[in-house]
Amino acid sequence: MPTIQHVCDYLEQQMPTGLAENWDNVGLLLGDRGASVSRVMTCLTLTPDSVAEAVGRGAGMVVTHHPLPFRPLNSITTDSVPGKMIWQLAGSGIAVYSPHTAFDSAAAGINQRLARRLNLDEIHPLVASQVAGHPGSGRMGRLSPAIPAESVAALLKQQLGCPRVQYAGPAGHRAQTVGIACGSGGSFLDAAIRAGCDTFVTGEANFHACLEAHASKIGLFLVGHYFSERFAVEELAIELAEKFPDCEIWASRVENNPLLVF
């Protein structure tokens, strides 16, 4: 039977915590490294629903993309939602591990996986790293041949299961050099422009980034934060199950996009 530390070691090998942004909170955030584990759940975010699922199904560990806690807590009580979730998890002996931005940037991380789902060639980091062994942030690559914006949107919907794709940019746009940043990646738009991308795909961006895309004549595609990352935690559950065949490992079955489209 593997221990929590065995799972941590594998995750560290695949997505080293040294790749995380300096503001992030990654690694083992709750739990006993020496405890054995037979059930592991992956999820994008720990919510009251996904915590209840982990507790109800007897998970010994949750690998959540988004950290809990993310920011320091002065107290852990049931008076706040994060405190209540941590209290429930600890009370049920459930460890919590988060790779977050280390998973985003890893050589086989979320941005790399998304680039492959878009069938990009010549994939490389959007922002190069000055740190040895760090592959860099985001990804970019080329579509061959170039395809119209409508085809990019259709491909994203097919590959990520998102019900809609928002677009900001020039009319009649054709995509060839594509930049990618999963999650709240709007801040990478300037980097995509500097790198010569004509297209940029991310989860979400603010209004001013959309205006900048119009002004810069770059096609900006927004798939939603959830859909830009959830597919990767589903794949991670499959990979963990292959690595630890004695464990029951699954991606949360209750987790869903918190935003509804009417």
Q: CB-side exposure of 157: number of CA atoms within 13 Å?
A: 11
Summarised one tens digit per residue, pLDDT across range 189-236 is 999 999 999 999 999 999 999 999 999 999 999 999 999 999 999 999
pLDDT band with cut points at 50, 70 and 90 for residue 72:
confident
Distance CA 169, CA 216 (A): 8
Summarised one tens digit per residue, pLDDT across range 142-187 is 999 999 999 999 999 999 999 999 999 999 999 999 999 999 999 9
Asked if 46 and 4 count as a contact pair (C-beta separation under 8 A), the reply is: no
End-to-end CA distance of the chain: 46
Distance CA 160, CA 166 (A): 14
DSSP letter at 213 equals H
pLDDT band with cut points at 50, 70 and 90 for residue 97:
very high
Percent of the chain with pLDDT over 70: 100
Percent of the chain with pLDDT over 90: 95
pLDDT band with cut points at 50, 70 and 90 for residue 136:
very high
Tokens in use for 23?
């503001």
Asked if 123 and 139 count as a contact pair (C-beta separation under 8 A), the reply is: yes
Strand order in the sheet with 219-222: 121-124, 139-148, 174-181, 199-202, 219-222, 166-168
CB atoms within 10 A of CB 234: 16
- Decide if pLDDT at 132 tops 90: no
Asked if 31 and 65 count as a contact pair (C-beta separation under 8 A), the reply is: no
Distance CA 111, CA 136 (A): 11
Secondary structure of 135-175 in HEC code, one letter for each residue? CCECEEEEEEEEEEHHHHHHHHHHHHCCCCCEEECCCCCEE
| Paired residues of 141 in beta bridges | 178
- Decide if pLDDT at 262 tops 90: no
